[in-house]
Amino acid sequence: MIEDRTTSVSAAVSAPAAAAPVTQIDYARAGIVTPQMAAVAAAEGREPEAIRAAVAAGRIAIPANIHHASLTPGGVGSTLDGVPLTTKVNVNLGISGDLADEATEWEKVAVALELGADAIMDLSNSGKTRAFRTKLIEQSPAMIGTVPMYDAIGYLEKSLIAITPEDFLEVVRAHAEDGVDFVTIHAGMNRRVIESFKETGRLTNIVSRGGSLIFAWMEATGRENPFYEYYDEVLAILHEHDVTISLGDAMRPGSGYDATDAAQIAELIELGKLTRRAWDAGVQVMVEGPGHMALDEIAANMKLQKRLCHDAPFYVLGPLVCDIAPGYDHITAAIGGAVAATAGADFLCYVTPAEHLRLPDAADVREGLVATKIAAHAADIAKGVPGARDRDNRMSDARRRVAWDEMFDLALDPARARAVFESAPPSTEGTCTMCGKMCAMKTVNDIMDGLTVSLS
How many C-beta neighbours within 10 Å does residue 148 have?
23
209 in a known ligand binding site: yes
Is residue 315 marked as binding?
yes
Q: Is 293 annotated as a binding residue?
A: no
Question: Nearest Cα to 213, choosing from 248, 250, 181, 238?
Answer: 250
307 is in an annotated binding site: no
Burial (Cβ within 10 Å: 0-12, 13-18, ≥19) of residue 224: middle
438 among the known binding-site residues?
A: no
Which residues, 6+ apart, have CB-to-CB distance to 454 below 8 Å? none
- The answer on whether 68 is annotated among ligand-binding residues is no
Has 391 been labeled as part of a binding site? no
Q: Is 349 annotated as a binding residue?
A: no
**According to the annotation, is 228 in a ligand binding site?**
no
Beta strands 244-247 and 182-185, pairing class: parallel
Tell me if 92 is assigned to a ligand binding site: yes
Which structural domains are found in the chain, ordered by start? 2-17+84-382 (3.20.20.540), 389-423 (no CATH), 425-456 (no CATH)
Given a contact cutoff of 8 angstroms between Cβ atoms, the answer to whether 144 and 176 are in contact is: no
- Residuewise pLDDT in 10s, the chain (456 residues): 333 433 334 333 444 445 699 999 999 999 999 999 999 999 999 999 999 999 999 999 999 999 999 999 999 999 999 999 999 999 999 988 787 789 999 999 999 999 999 999 999 987 778 999 999 999 999 999 999 999 888 888 889 999 999 999 999 999 999 999 999 999 999 999 999 999 999 999 999 999 999 999 999 999 999 999 999 999 999 999 999 999 999 999 999 999 999 999 999 999 999 999 999 999 999 999 999 999 999 999 999 999 999 999 999 999 999 999 999 999 999 999 999 999 999 999 999 999 999 999 999 999 999 999 999 999 999 999 999 999 999 999 999 999 999 999 999 999 999 999 999 999 888 899 999 989 999 899 989 999 888 776
Residue 205, annotated as binding a ligand: no
